[in-house]
Structure 1
Amino acid sequence: MHLGILETGAPPGDLKDRFGSYGDMFRRMLGPDYRYSYYDVRTGRLPEIGQHTAYLITGSASGVYDGDPWIEPLKDFIQQLSGRVPLVGICFGHQIMAEAYGGRVIKSPKGWGVGLHSYDILRRAGWMNSDRESTLSIPVSHQDQVIELPNGATVLAASEFTPYAVLEYPQRRAISFQGHPEFSPEYATALIDLRRGTRYQPDFADAAAATLKKPNDAQRVAGWIRNFVSGAR
């Protein structure tokens, strides 16, 4: 199976040297059973629709509403891909998929979601297998949120802060997560430290970093994504 990773951003500062690219993080998370190809979408690189078995869209520092020149071509790609092969979106990927399918994303007045967030699981898809846990906890780093769902979207997990945390589009062969299962606690903490005193006030940063010391469910999500892209629906 050949997975095409559409990189819509990169770790800031020296974090890429320390932790690798976003594509590298997904490669470590999903494991050695796939071939991987990375595409820096910001430079205009997009694969052919049928070039890969499945696709994954990463996070980004950009907002879907920012008007960057690569965003509309990516939306077009998402629309063309619909229903043809599996597609997974993470954070920005989650948001641009919702926009491409007819939903709406804004910079949320709730502010930053940072650290380890927990969500209630509302529904269970086939690719979640026999998982019976009632909650899901993964690292997050976002201001933007989906506020209007596209037609055909199913909400699988939610919290008071993020009502549309995990979405499935059964007719489109697509799923998406607002959180970052690919972020190791070490990377998520380093990202907070980099932004401490600029984007985040020190007390907020300290509290968010402390949550990352708790157990997370990244490996559960990795298993779900592996099931989904392999066709366990």
Structure 2
Amino acid sequence: MKIGILQTGYAPDPVVETSGDYPAMFARLLDGHGFDFQTWEVVDNQFPDGPDDADAWLITGSRHGVYEDHAWLPPLEALIRQIRDSGKPMVGVCFGHQIIAQALGGKVEKFQGGWATGRQTYDMGGAPVQLNAWHQDQVVQRPEGARVLASNDFCENAMLAYGDNILTIQPHPEFTATVIGGLLDYRAKGVVPDDLIARATENLTQPVDNAALGQKMAAVLKGEKI
């Protein structure tokens, strides 16, 4: 089964050296499910011909904001709507979560409450789930018909479902402690408040539920109904 990865940004070089770039992180998370991957670097205007170029689709994170003025954003939103209309499964993470919401009629903005950095706890159907996050932007208005699958007091729309085959996640199940540590070293200082950096650093060794979320993502990509 071919998974098309739409890459919307690049990890810092030191993170790439230790963990690979975003497509490699997702390939590890989704290993063992029989997937083949092809990446289109949409951030550099490299696009597939259409939804039929893959069996299912995955949109990565990015340091960019979905509301910014980039030439590749309108065609990406158009492709998202085409994938939705095709009925093919689609998963979006962080920026991917946000751009799918925006493309389908929701609203994303720089959240007034600030940053979520490192290990966070979410309520997912009454059960706690721990995942690493790295974002200031949030989906503040859901598209019509979107269902909330997970949330917490800081991030109301942490995981959304659209119909039976589109799943989007604000935190990063593909981010290990090594990745978060690299981001703390190379992207946090002067951007993320010092107290959040300290808290994220303290929690680096705490367990997260990446494997469970990877299984959920894989199930959706295989066509199981959400």
Question: RMSD value over aligned CA atoms?
Answer: 1.3
Q: Gaps spanning 5+ residues in structure 1: where?
A: 123-132
Q: Which amino acid aligns with 2:37?
A: Y
- After TM superposition, the runs of 4+ consecutive aligned structure 1 residues lying more than 4 A away are none
Any idea what the Cα deviations from partners look like across 1:11-54, whole Å, max 9, x if unmatched?
A: 12422122111000000110041111011101111112101110
User: 1:170 and 1:203 mapped to 2: Cα distance?
Assistant: 39
Q: What corresponds to 2:4 in structure 1?
A: 4
Offset of residue 88 of structure 1 = 0.2
SS, match of residue 52 in structure 2:
coil
Offset of residue 196 of structure 1 = 4.2
User: 1:64 and 1:199 mapped to 2: Cα distance?
Assistant: 19
- TM-score (ref. length: structure 2): 0.94
1:118 aligns with 2:111: no
CA contact (8 A) 2:25 2:175 kept: yes
Any idea what the Cα deviations from partners look like across 1:189-226, whole Å, max 9, x if unmatched?
A: 11112234321344321211212321110000000011
Identity %: 35
Summarize the alignment of residues 17-36 of structure 1 with structure 2, pairs less than 5 Å apart. Answer: 17-32=17-32, 33-36=34-37
User: 1:51 and 1:204 mapped to 2: Cα distance?
Assistant: 41
CA contact (8 A) 1:193 1:205 kept: no
Alignment counterpart, residue 137 of structure 1, candidates 93, 110, 130: 130
User: 1:212 and 1:14 mapped to 2: Cα distance?
Assistant: 18
User: 1:213 and 1:148 mapped to 2: Cα distance?
Assistant: 33
Q: What corresponds to 1:217 in structure 2?
A: 209
Q: Which amino acid aligns with 2:78?
A: D
User: 1:196 and 1:46 mapped to 2: Cα distance?
Assistant: 30
Deviates more, 1:12-21 or 1:69-78: 12-21
User: 1:192 and 1:62 mapped to 2: Cα distance?
Assistant: 17
- TM-score (ref. length: structure 1): 0.92
Classify 1:9/1:196 alpha carbon distance in 2 versus 1 (closer, same or farther; 3 Å): closer
1:88 aligns with 2:108: no
Q: Which amino acid aligns with 1:146?
A: V
Alignment counterpart, residue 152 of structure 2, candidates 156, 159, 175: 159
1:71 aligns with 2:73: yes
Offset of residue 94 of structure 1 = 0.2
Alignment counterpart, residue 55 of structure 1, candidates 54, 57, 65: 57
CA contact (8 A) 2:14 2:182 kept: no
User: 1:229 and 1:204 mapped to 2: Cα distance?
Assistant: 33
SS, match of residue 140 in structure 1:
strand
Q: What corresponds to 1:232 in structure 2?
A: 224
Any idea what the Cα deviations from partners look like across 1:104-146, whole Å, max 9, x if unmatched?
A: 0000011111011111113xxxxxxxxxx71111100000000
Q: Gaps spanning 5+ residues in structure 2: where?
A: none
Offset of residue 77 of structure 1 = 0.2
User: 1:185 and 1:113 mapped to 2: Cα distance?
Assistant: 15
SS, match of residue 46 in structure 1:
coil
User: 1:64 and 1:141 mapped to 2: Cα distance?
Assistant: 15
SS, match of residue 50 in structure 1:
helix
Q: What corresponds to 1:128 in structure 2?
A: none
Classify 1:183/1:151 alpha carbon distance in 2 versus 1 (closer, same or farther; 3 Å): same
